[in-house]
Copies of this chain bind each other. A is one copy, B any other.
Amino acid sequence: MQRSPLAPESAPNLPPLAGVQIGTMNSGVRYKGRDDVMVMAFDPGSVMAGVVTKSKTRSAPVEHCVDALAAGGDARALVVNSGNANAFTGRAGDVVVQETIKTAADVFGCSLMAVYVSSTGVIGEPMPQDAIPKSVRALGPKLQPGGWEKAAAAIMTTDTFVKVATETAKIGGVDVRLNGIVKGSGMIAPDMATMLGYICTDADIPQPILQTLLTRAVDKTFNCITVDSDTSTSDTVLLAATAKVGNAKPENANDPSLKDFKRALLAICMDLSQQVVRDGEGASKFIAVRVTGATSPGAAKRIGLSIANSPLVKTAIAGEDANWGRIVMAVGKSGEKAERDLLRILIGGTEITANGMVVEGYDEAPVAAHMKGQEIDIEVDIGLGRGKATVWTCDLTHGYIEINADYRS
């Protein structure tokens, strides 16, 4: 698979993060000649926050993560495989998850509920019973402090580039770091976390606060991206905090000491989530849709997603066609309040419509030039209220169909 033309030119080097050790290998589940399982171990005292798919047919690993988070969010190990989603695999799939967490609990000397598991790949194919537990046992003694890029590579499926990000922040004068990896390029739609993403920090933040911070950040990042409007059965974003730096514990999610950490968490979530869009299956253009003037922030997001998910809008952009009439259509079908004569549409900063029709003397030349670029900006002002939101997507090209018409074989 060719590297996406929208991929960042280079990836940052991720330094080791105190309290986290990593190992990868080939498990034999599906892919040959590459690592397909990743294990992270967290030092005692680490906690986990998480957000998972809203799908009603979510996978066995996701069900376990929900249970583990509900049990208090202690974190000692994370096991992720690619190649098989272990979704819709019945009781046999549940057994694989149980065997995996039992093995990890034994290897790392922790409770079952301190182990987190994810699987990504084909839905509905039986998982080999032993491959993942055996890999956990094999990797256990070999984990090392670094290796984030290897971990990001091991969890890839149709991804065309490795997705990592790192940020630093201060909590009460103490330096903390966030490292993150993510995978995803198809079956991406915003309804709780929309891919597999793992972020770790060495900060000391109690689990309930960590959960609140993650949920807020995901809502503005991972939940604002869409590639194809399809929601995975496996999507999970986890945030582990190892408490290895001596910052003063924040008292609640609104503690002023967390201001800079929140900025860094939002930045790393934004970076990782936009990398997923940049690797959207077949993507040739990265599209930002900014909606203002909606009756509420939720309405703005729904209008933005209606535009971002419209196959007609996405194919027009693929064709570099400034067919703004399709944006009007997508606003209309969103179900949210809109009035023709108040709607303003701008592409690449050029105003196209106002007062319910094309602006006087509209010159398509600058818009046509903008459409030829790789970064497309669409702005829609509904003109009714103060609700605003930005969502990100990619265009719909022949590449998407090529990738998805023959994924299993």
Contacts and interface: CB of A to CB of B under 8 A. Distances in A.
Interface of A: 53-58, 85, 87-93, 122-126, 186-187, 189, 191, 228-233, 309-312, 315-316, 318-319, 321, 323-326, 328-341, 343, 353, 355-358, 396-398, 400-401, 404-409
A86 B335 CA distance: 21
B321 A88 contact: no
A135 to B, nearest CB: 23
Given A56-B331, A88-B353, 6 more contacts: A55-B329, A55-B333, A56-B336, A229-B311, A230-B312, A398-B401
Total copies of this chain within the assembly: 2
B329 A232 contact: yes
> How would you classify the secondary structure of chain A's contact residues: helix, strand, loop or mixed?
loop
A231 B332 contact: yes
Contacts of A340: 57, 88, 90
A56 B312 contact: no
A328 B57 contact: yes
B233 A328 contact: yes
B93 A312 contact: no
20 contacts: A54-B335, A55-B329, A56-B339, A57-B331, A57-B338, A88-B340, A88-B343, A88-B357, A89-B357, A90-B356, A90-B357, A125-B358, A126-B357, A229-B310, A229-B311, A231-B332, A231-B333, A311-B400, A311-B404, A315-B401
A350 to B, nearest CB: 15
Contacts of A315: 400-401, 404-405
A232 B325 CA distance: 10
A189 B312 contact: no
